[in-house]
Amino acid sequence: MTGNTFRWGIIGLGRIAHNFAKALDVVPNARLYAVASSNRERANTFAQEYGSEHAYDDYQPLIDNPHVDAIYIATPHRFHYQWARQCLMAGKPVLCEKPLTVNEVQARELVALAEKHQTFLMEALWTRFLPTWQQVFTWLSEQRIGDLRLLSSSFAFNVPRNEEDRLLNNALAGGALLDMGIYNLAMSQFVMQREPSVIVANGMIGETNVDERTSVILDYEGVASQFTCGLNTTLENGFTLYGSKGSILVESMFWAATQAVLCVDGEEPQRVAFPFRATGFEYQIEEVMSCIAKGQLQSDVMSWQQTINTMKTMDEIRQQIGLEYPFLHRT
């Protein structure tokens, strides 16, 4: 850091990187310092749009830049492990887009590297840091809806059919589960604070060998979480928590929640609203910067073990539905 300024680098400049860059504008003492893309023109355009001092057409020079304080990785899923590994070996703190890796083995390897090099590492599951979900967790802690009985959610859109898109590309670890279903799963884990005891999954593998629809039931010893994620139809896309005394509804696009409704039996529904200051990514950015300032290697809200648990469950789901990524057998 220079003075109080925290200098971020971004690797991979697709759509989601724009959300990250915009969020930096509202985070005190944060600035975009360096960006890298495999495409020189894209890197230059992105740097100009967001005021980045450096633009690279290769990721390694950004990693090697001694003035970069932390790196946000937003490449396609397949390459998360490779570039997070390079960053950690260089001692660079990492915030890596979800899923952290493609399987549990890779996730454990990155955690081991972070520990070895005493370097911060966090999966960028921004939903966990949103004020709306923090309120949901508070309501649950206060037992406002009584004993939790059932979680029900969906994350599915009728995605335009473009077989060149990463979502339909098996070689890039595409499919609904890793891109969408991870939110249903990770927020179920956030609510339950433990691993499921039983996992039952069913999926439809499409022509490009990715899951175009996956439906899952997770059993948490009496509390069930049921969800569907998909690329071939649009669903309600909310997340409802049912209890013995009422329910909590996180409305459509629950992963980007700005509102929630508490419905307690016999009472008027209570709606809360927490508009984003920017894109919603600002909350996870602030968490990373706070953790690093405190000398922490991981976040308490999005810990290494929680990431590993999520990857372990997704591995089991993939096995049950027959979703394979052949490149994993070559690494």
Distance between alpha carbon 247 and the CA centroid of its chain, in Å?
25
Contacts of 274 (CB under 8 A, 6+ apart): 130, 131, 132, 135, 258, 259
Transcribe 207-276 into DSSP letters. TTSSEEEEEEEEE-SS-EEEEEEESBS-----EEEEESSEEEEE-SSGGG-SEEEEEETTS--EEEE---
pTM: 0.96
108-138 pLDDT, tens per residue? 999 999 999 999 999 999 999 999 999 999 9
Segment 27-44 mean pLDDT? 97
Q: Which of 57, 56, 58, 70 is nearest to 24 (CA)?
A: 70
Q: Radius of gyration of the chain from Cα atoms?
A: 20
Write down all domains in the chain, each with its CATH number in brackets.
6-126 (3.40.50.720), 131-273 (3.30.360.10)
Residue 298 structure tokens: 């991981």
For residues 191 and 151, the answer to whether their CB atoms sit within 8 Å is yes
156-176 pLDDT, tens per residue? 999 988 877 899 999 999 999
Calculate helix-pair angle for 40-50, 15-24, nearest 10 degrees: 30
193-212 pLDDT, tens per residue? 999 999 999 999 999 999 99
Edge-to-edge order in the sheet of strand 259-264:
198-205, 211-219, 224-230, 148-156, 239-243, 246-250, 259-264, 270-273
231-276 pLDDT, tens per residue? 999 999 999 999 999 999 999 999 999 999 999 999 999 999 999 9
